[in-house]
């Protein structure tokens, strides 16, 4: 189910290169967001408007940033480079139409 949502994000050019590379992570997080919204099947995902799809992707991005931030905090030996990566990820991805 969430793989179909991922491909809708991708076909609508909503994903950054980093998000496309981390496909499995994006699918997992999308699954969490869809479950929380009670969206359970491909047919419902296919009918979601592009605006609603963007809202779902924004929630996925928030979860992803939170997960990355928690990973850096829990890593006692984190480097300044990891902190720089997190700051870069907090920027909004440009919408490409």
How distant is the alpha carbon of residue 39 from its chain centre? Answer: 16
Instruction: Work out how many domains the chain is built from and give that number.
Output: 1
Could you tell me if 40 and 11 are in contact, meaning their C-beta atoms sit under 8 angstroms apart?
Answer: no
Within a domain: 34? yes
Q: According to the model, what pLDDT value does residue 39 have?
A: 85
Domain hosting residue 40, numbered range: 2-89
pLDDT tens for 27-48 read 999 999 998 888 887 778 888 8
pLDDT confidence bin for 1, thresholds 50/70/90:
low
Within a domain: 39? yes
| For residue 17, pLDDT beyond 70 | yes
Taking the model in full, what pTM does it have? 0.67
Separation between Cα atoms, residue 64 and residue 85, nearest integer Å: 13
Within a domain: 57? yes
Determine the average pLDDT of the residues in 53-63: 94
pLDDT above 70 as % of the chain: 75
Q: Count Cβ atoms within 10 A of the Cβ of residue 73 and give its class: 0-12 exposed, 13-18 middle, 19 or more buried.
A: exposed
Could you tell me if 25 and 42 are in contact, meaning their C-beta atoms sit under 8 angstroms apart?
Answer: no
């Amino acid at each position: 189910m969430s793989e179909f949502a991922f491909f809708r994000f991708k076909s609508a050019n909503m994903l950054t290169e980093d998000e496309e590379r981390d496909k499995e992570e994006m699918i997992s997080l999308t699954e969490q967001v869809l479950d929380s919204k009670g969206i359970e099947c491909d047919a419902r995902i296919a009918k979601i408007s592009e605006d609603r799809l963007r809202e779902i992707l924004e929630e996925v991005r928030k979860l992803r940033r939170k997960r990355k931030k928690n990973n850096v905090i829990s890593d006692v030996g984190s480097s300044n480079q990891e902190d720089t990566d997190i700051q870069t990820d907090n920027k909004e991805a440009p919408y490409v139409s």
